[in-house]
Amino acid sequence: MLAFLIILAANAVATNQDWHPAVDPALLRQIRQDSPAGLMSVSNGAPVTYCEVNSTLNKPLIRNSFLMDHVTSMDRERTCVRTVHGQGSGAFGFFKVTHDLSHICKASFLKEIGKKTPVAARFSSGIAEKGGSELSREIRGFALKFYTDEGIFDIPGIVTPMFVVKNPLYFVEFIHAIRKNPALYLADPMKLWDFVIKYPEAMHTFLLMFADRGIPLSFANMPCYNVHSLQVENEAGEVHFIRFHIEPFEGIKHLTTAEAQKINAADLDYYTRELYNRIKKGDYPRWNVSVQIVSEEDVQKHGGLMFDVTRVLPKCDFPLHLLGEIVLNRNPTNHFAEIEQLAFCPANLVNGILGAPDKVYEARRFAYADAQLYRLGPNVQKIPVNCPLHVPTEYSESPGEPVSYESTNKRGLLKIKEEEPYNYDQAAELYENELTGDERTRLHENLILAISPASEFVRERVIEILEMIHPDLAYQVAKGLTSTMAE
């Protein structure tokens, strides 16, 4: 009897309507909601008997719609992986305003104290491949999507407050330098040093990566920096620039290389598991959202330095202004639908935030959208997790009435003149004043470990760069290398 049990769809709901549900989305939603859960069907919705479902052996494949449906959808169920930051996981929650910023920026989600905006967050390895270990030393990504009531605002940020290069052309070279060697498909850490020798400005970021920042204790201990100074305006049209700093309540904390190796032996997915379990338990991770504020006068005084992504804005001159907090309180229920298909783009901006004037930003505006057209297809913004919450309707309210053109006379992005990067002063400052004594020692050890396999020529060039940053840094690393070589 069971073999012929056919569960009929709840189509009865539809039949007594004169309107076909396909042309009435609200009705269609209603019917779907009322459909019995667990109904087995082929993809056109036709119900299937248990018998059909489990007897494949004696039936020609082409006439077995259930099997065909299953196999063809599996054949296509993976979309192409992100070209960088491929490995990652995420969660959902909200941003809550605690301090008003409307005198600087008119973006609606920053306005009223207490206002909540839904957010999606994705934590990623920069270069580690999907399915591999999460625990390698990396410049990790921490991307945020704000579903504001005036559209989507994205911050695809990283864990260092500065970036590797200021010329976007070198980004491609950088990515190729940290990927596996294309000939052998083996990790080739020496390519990184070839890159550093060519672009020594990268060493500012790598100092932090080889100190503790490269391996976080957990995702909940990771900060997120936007690195760009975004041009914003208030209701009066006055312009400022803001740099986002999003820092964990529990502090920025790390694992040492040895601790990470030990955990790695037991659990390759350590960070994802930790985040998932923590949220499941109700122990929600939180971050403070602050900005550094740069005025037009500051720009006149300091010029391009205010926009150089390889540099930080010194906190003594540009203190942090707290705006609010982010709480992540929901795990994804479907990793593919909600995390894999998430698409962050620096060009997703809202009223009041105009973007950043630097060239890396300009290149990123294009690159992410381009990558997503390839990775997720032309409907990327319509995928539920990327979809804006509110679609404004005010433009469709005057049927037939032509609206005369009025220039809104919007100010464009500031034009800046960029110069060759120079950041040794800040790298020295980081080494001397910001790293603690213990962290400096771990930096030396990690650098020695990473440089020792390089050729003598490369080692010498790297030491020259370290020398320009700080004589003690060069001395300690050179000393360590000599004793490693002597063994």
Ligand X SMILES: *[C@@H]1O[C@H](CO)[C@@H](O)[C@H](O)[C@H]1NC(C)=O
User: Binding site for heme: residue ranges?
Assistant: 368
475 binds ligand X (CB under 6 A): no
Among 196, 227, 353, 385, binds ligand HEM (CB under 6 A): 227
User: 3-state SS of the chain?
Assistant: CHHHCCCCCCCHHHHCCCCCHHHCHHHHHHHHHHCCCCCCECCCCCECCHHHHHCCCCCCHHHCHHHHHHHHHHHCCCCCCCCCCCCEEEEEEEEEECCCCCCCCCCHHHCCCCCEEEEEEEEECCCCCCCCCCCCCCCCEEEEEEEEECEEEEEEEECCCCCCCCCCHHHHHHHHHHCCECCCCECCCHHHHHHHHHCHHHHHHHHHHHCHHHCECCHHHCCEECCCCEEEECCCCCEEEEEEEEEECCCCCECCHHHHHHHHHHCCCHHHHHHHHHHHHCCCCEEEEEEEEEEHHHHHHHHHHHHCCCCCCCCCCCCEEEEEEEEEEECCCCHHHHHHCCCCCCCCCCCCEEECCCHHHHHHHHHHHHHHHHHHCCCHHHCHHHCCCCCCCHHHCCCCCCCCCCCCCCCCCCCCCCCCCCCHHHHHHHHHHHCCHHHHHHHHHHHHHHHCCCCHHHHHHHHHHHHHHCHHHHHHHHHHHHHHHHC
179 binds ligand HEM (CB under 6 A): no
363 binds ligand HEM (CB under 6 A): yes
Looking at residues 78 to 107 of the shown chain, list those that interact with ligand HEM (rule: CB under 6 A): 82-85, 88
271 binds ligand HEM (CB under 6 A): no
Of 432, 444, 435, 433, give the one whose Cα is nearest residue 476.
444
Among 67, 238, 249, 284, binds ligand X (CB under 6 A): 249
247 binds ligand X (CB under 6 A): yes
122 versus 459: smaller Cβ distance to ligand HEM:
122
**368 contact choice in ligand X, ligand HEM, none (CB below 5 to 8 Å, kind-dependent):** ligand HEM
Looking at residues 308 to 337 of the shown chain, list those that interact with ligand X (rule: CB under 6 A): 322
215 versus 477: smaller Cβ distance to ligand HEM:
215
5 binds ligand X (CB under 6 A): no
* Residue 52 in tokens: 């059909």
Q: Shortest Cβ distance from residue 3 to ligand X (Å)? A: 4
Looking at residues 13 to 32 of the shown chain, list those that interact with ligand HEM (rule: CB under 6 A): none
270 binds ligand X (CB under 6 A): no
Q: Shortest Cβ distance from residue 4 to ligand X (Å)? A: 9
Looking at residues 340 to 359 of the shown chain, list those that interact with ligand HEM (rule: CB under 6 A): 342-344
**136 contact choice in ligand X, ligand HEM, none (CB below 5 to 8 Å, kind-dependent):** none
**47 contact choice in ligand HEM, ligand X, none (CB below 5 to 8 Å, kind-dependent):** none
Among 31, 47, 50, 179, binds ligand X (CB under 6 A): 50
Among 35, 288, 295, 381, binds ligand X (CB under 6 A): 288
230 binds ligand HEM (CB under 6 A): no
156 binds ligand HEM (CB under 6 A): yes
Contact region for ligand X (CB under 6 A) — 49-57, 121-129, 132-140, 451-459? 49-57
360 binds ligand HEM (CB under 6 A): yes
Residues that bind ligand X (CB under 6 A): 3, 50-51, 54, 247, 249, 251, 288, 322
Binding-site ranges for ligand HEM (CB under 6 A): 82-85, 88, 122, 124, 141, 143, 156-158, 163, 168, 171, 227, 342-344, 360, 363-364, 367-368, 371-372, 375
